[in-house]
Amino acid sequence: MSFLQSLNISASGLTAQRARMDVISENIANIDTTRTEEGGPYRRKMVVFKTSN
């Protein structure tokens, strides 16, 4: 494994965790939201990761 591949893997992990943190912060910000713009209840969002080969 080359140095650049190692950096790419690390960057990918950081990007994934950033996406998770963004969704968590959105869920926390909307904790008291009773209705969405469409009129339905707010539903928490979840991040699902998958591996890539």
Contact (CB, 8 A) for 45 and 26? yes
Tell me which residue range forms the domain holding 12. 1-53
pTM over 0.85: no
Say how many domains are in the chain: 1
The series of mean pLDDT values per 10 residues for the chain, 53 residues long, is 92 96 96 88 92 76
pLDDT at 34: 85
pLDDT at 5: 93
pLDDT at 19: 96
